[in-house]
A and B are shown apart, each in its own frame.
Chain A
């Protein structure tokens, strides 16, 4: 299998290099063919790897490719850990990436940077695969930063657009805030285990937990809690958890295919994947898990609310992504890592589908993104309509859809997480994911109704040109709609309750809520029936859809009235809780002001003005006098040499 693994990462890399460096020579068709073939090959081989590990009972593989460096006994390696967790991620990543590659042929067909775009998305696929296939923290960080780089390049793909180049800088810097925590976490891991290798670190997890670290003198904190929280700060950046979420909505400035691939299905889930991968560490710190769950709950509920007031089709979906990532984070915090990864998988399908469907609408309307200028598109875009409906139903957890199984299981896991006790953390987590269901249904179907139903609000010029998009765009929609609709049926039992992840995910028995749920699980059909009687989830979703229908189709004049009536709340939502101000005015502005102060007061006035120039002026006066005797700066130096040598010789003579 080793040659498979290597081919899986190298095929997209090679394609990216060829399309990037020789784009002009191979032409547009050459660029898309070579990258599609590269990613296609990776996808097929990833499926074979998963098949080998799951159906054929193959053993997980953990090996090093080459030694990056060895210093001070610390081995820094590049290598692969291929178990079912990484294999599942590989299949999801390569599948969505393949769909996006095909879709891009249609979406970017008139763009001057066609080859560059294909090169970037293939490079992204390579980086993401290196991240999920890594067997050590160094390579994880390498992949982590590499996907961040490609995300930066792609958000700013249209680099003449001011909003795009603002957004990509913002995205990179906010992610770097997360990485700041992440690298400290990795340094902490090395400090306590002297290793970067997952297996070695996990084997020594107990010994980390037995030690303390004094960050503030006199207050010893458990080392594993500190390390896990630092690592989680990294996840908060990449997986856009509040307050590090501010970059994701702006990242919508990038072309839609990458919003689907990078900013919905794969890169943003890297943080979720990372925490699941680190489960042997997180399991040892209930403090860290509590932090995870609270951050996730806040993001899941409050970011969902913001989706209701957005009018840009992509931004609505972006806030939905934030909220769904919050769901996954809550699951991680509840020790239901499997449920988080399961939701990650279904979400990758239906959210990529929704973004690509949005992209289909956008190009059908000649790059219109404002949903107030849409409406009634059902009859013009039938394939887009039906696939978007499947995606939306999956997103709100309509019974039977992929999203239903993953979200219902996730919510149930949170509800039954007894180790959380009945304290505020439990109720924050549970109520957030529960009420979030209503919010999700409301913003999803608000979007759906405003785009596809109701009055046609486009101008006539646009309307006359609207027609369904070409097959390279609709085919990926259909191919993504299929798993969005049905994959939950087949996968819930093996993935969640069948011990699918084996040793890849470690859960202590006190936290093992999925294990207990598995004992009561009697097939997908029963799970489905159960959902109607077990709890309010289904009814909350239905209420959300009904509310959306009532407000946006039945009584479309109402939302404006509500906004006026509750203007304070509306403004808070419209201003996105002022998080952007916190970062842009607070941190970025503050940093610049401090920098300016240090430069003008510190360097220029204090050091140069008082210390240097004071001395320099006296020397300058001397030098000016001497310059009349001889020209050229060599003289200054010769002068120095003479003085130095005089001192030197004088000293020697004196000593002898």
Chain B
């Protein structure tokens, strides 16, 4: 078996099988037992190994081509022409790296925060990782759909078992949204299958479709992806899910799962339905701008730190969808690629920053068991190292140049100015709103006199926590100071995507 020919399968199955192994190993019913300790180390080792494999993927990746790389293809259900078909290009590769990078950090961060059924908890994250990686690699619609749905199971369990008090409401809402969205995506796949006779994404890209067909299919995809992004007005599940999820769940949800929506738009909606996408681009731009401005204002008023960051995520993801759908407004001018590239960079950056912000809240929650801003104040007095890191991530969240948060927003703002002054005007309001909601929270939580006895007794970061946040801070800084490697990875793919999108798929009479 050749390693490089099966690197994608290894990335999917290593964490999944590893997760099953961890489940089998168990923690002996006691999270402080030696067996539980071994189990945690095994989990960490598997996630690190997965990350190392993905580094080989990065090293072997050729940024100069838009073709699918590391392709694996085998028949799965012959009768229906369903295939086990995997591959990566310049858009999926960064997302795969993000996933393998974040997972070990989440495992490390959750080292001690789970008090019951810890083996199941860690196994869920490993299995989830494998499934999410699969979504970013699948090139067959059935495979994609199965992974897309299966991925929700571990997340569902993570929130449902280890979640907060109102987890019933949150999981139900989460379930309702995702279920309705995904079912329509499946219907769309079946319809396309009826046209092409197989489930290959490339066949879907090539088949000609009338505008009416494209419109319906676009709406079917839109529901699936808009819920994931999430876009206004189907976003209200996210704050609830975040608030109830344990820290690790929030991080994975914000850092990676939300990216599924954006990924779906670029992998499916744009290339498969160029005319439908164009038809709805005005709506998509409007919803994106509403996310930036409306949600930015809503974030300002949140009293719960996790809710605030959840709303901030929605506002930031507005830049992703804005970057993807302004290309028709730009017209003949260059700038379309800048918008799409900016959108993808924003996905990666948001993965790092929102993950870090949720981890920061987790650090505080582990100590004080409160997410309410009002319960804090003056934390910088007792946790100076933590405060320094949290201010850094807050600045990154506010899009400060030199951090990754700036890169995507800058590109998308430029691209939207090329499209329409007012698009850029609303998008740029994030400079004010993003700084306002993030730094106001920082002021109330970190600064000021020590607010109460609980804050006075806080202990600063442990070496483990410091390592997790430090690694994230370094990555946010590196991407901010030198985004070229990331941007170069995707540029050929983005150009190719634009080439596909620019060709109408309407049937020629």
Contact = CB atoms under 8 A, between A and B. Distances in A.
A148 to B, nearest CB: 8
Interface in A304-349: none
Nearest to B495: A72
A588 B429 CA distance: 14
Contact of B487 (A71, A623, A633): A71
A183 B233 contact: no
A611 interface: yes
B61 interface: no
Contacts of B233: 607, 611
A557 interface: no
B436 to A, nearest CB: 6
Given A162-B448, A598-B298, A615-B176, A72 B183 contact: no
B45 interface: no
Given A599-B301, A636-B171, A643-B183, A66 B482 contact: yes
Interface string B289-322: 0000010011111100000000000000000000
B401 A145 contact: yes
B439 A67 contact: no
B187 A647 contact: yes
A462 interface: no
Contacts of A73: 334
B381 interface: yes
B157 A187 contact: no
B381 A160 contact: yes
Nearest to A594: B297
A24 B129 CA distance: 40
A607 B236 contact: yes
B448 A160 contact: yes
Contact of A647 (B183, B301, B380, B448): B183
B500 interface: no
A145 B422 CA distance: 23
Interface stretch (A165-173, A263-271, A277-285, A464-472): A165-173
A601 B378 CA distance: 32
Contact of A191 (B190, B417, B422): B417
Contacts, number: 196
A652 interface: yes
Contact of A603 (B149, B173, B298, B411): B298
Interface in A184-222: 184, 186-188, 190-191, 194, 213, 215
Interface stretch (A174-182, A247-255, A394-402): A174-182
A71 B337 contact: yes
A146 B401 contact: yes
A641 B149 CA distance: 8
A138 B484 CA distance: 14
B175 A640 contact: yes
A55 interface: no
Contacts of A190: 414, 417-418
A207 to B, nearest CB: 14
B400 interface: yes
Nearest to B498: A72
A184 B401 contact: no
A598 B433 CA distance: 14
B38 to A, nearest CB: 27
Given A595-B301, A634-B156, A72 B447 contact: no
A596 B298 CA distance: 6
B216 interface: no
Contact of B236 (A159, A588, A608): A608
B402 interface: yes
A476 interface: no
Contacts of B194: 655
Contacts of A141: 401
A68 B481 CA distance: 7
A165 B341 contact: no
B342 to A, nearest CB: 8
Nearest to B416: A187
A256 to B, nearest CB: 20
Contacts of A176: 431-432, 435-436
A633 B157 CA distance: 7
Contact of B436 (A67, A183, A591): A591
B491 interface: yes
B341 A72 contact: yes
Interface in B436-495: 436, 439-440, 443, 446-449, 481-484, 486-488, 491
Given A71-B341, A634-B153, A188 B417 contact: yes
A591 B487 CA distance: 35
Contacts of B446: 159
A644 interface: yes
Contacts of A612: 173, 176, 236-237
Interface residues of B, number: 81
Interface in B178-223: 179, 182-183, 186-187, 190, 194
Given A188-B417, A592-B300, A620-B172, A637 B487 contact: no
Interface residues of A, number: 73
B364 interface: no
Contacts of B336: 72
Nearest to A627: B168
Contacts of A607: 233, 236
Contacts of B439: 152, 169, 172-173
Contacts of A652: 80, 190
Contacts of A634: 153, 156-157, 160
A632 interface: yes
B377 to A, nearest CB: 10
B186 A603 contact: no
Interface of B: 80, 149, 152-153, 156-157, 160-161, 171-173, 175-176, 179, 182-183, 186-187, 190, 194, 233, 236-237, 294, 297-302, 333-338, 341-342, 378, 380-381, 391, 395, 400-402, 406-407, 410-411, 413-414, 416-418, 421-422, 424-425, 428-429, 431-433, 435-436, 439-440, 443, 446-449, 481-484, 486-488, 491
Interface of A: 66-74, 138, 141-142, 145-146, 149, 152-153, 156, 159-160, 162, 165-166, 169, 172-173, 176-177, 179-180, 183-184, 186-188, 190-191, 194, 213, 215, 588, 591-592, 594-596, 598-599, 602-603, 607-608, 611-612, 615-616, 619-620, 623, 632-634, 636-637, 640-641, 643-644, 647-648, 651-652, 655
Given A194-B334, A595-B299, 6 more contacts: A71-B342, A169-B440, A594-B297, A612-B236, A616-B172, A637-B156
23 contacts: A69-B486, A71-B487, A141-B401, A162-B449, A173-B435, A173-B436, A173-B439, A183-B428, A184-B417, A184-B421, A188-B417, A191-B417, A215-B422, A595-B298, A607-B233, A633-B156, A633-B157, A633-B160, A637-B175, A641-B149, A643-B183, A651-B190, A655-B194
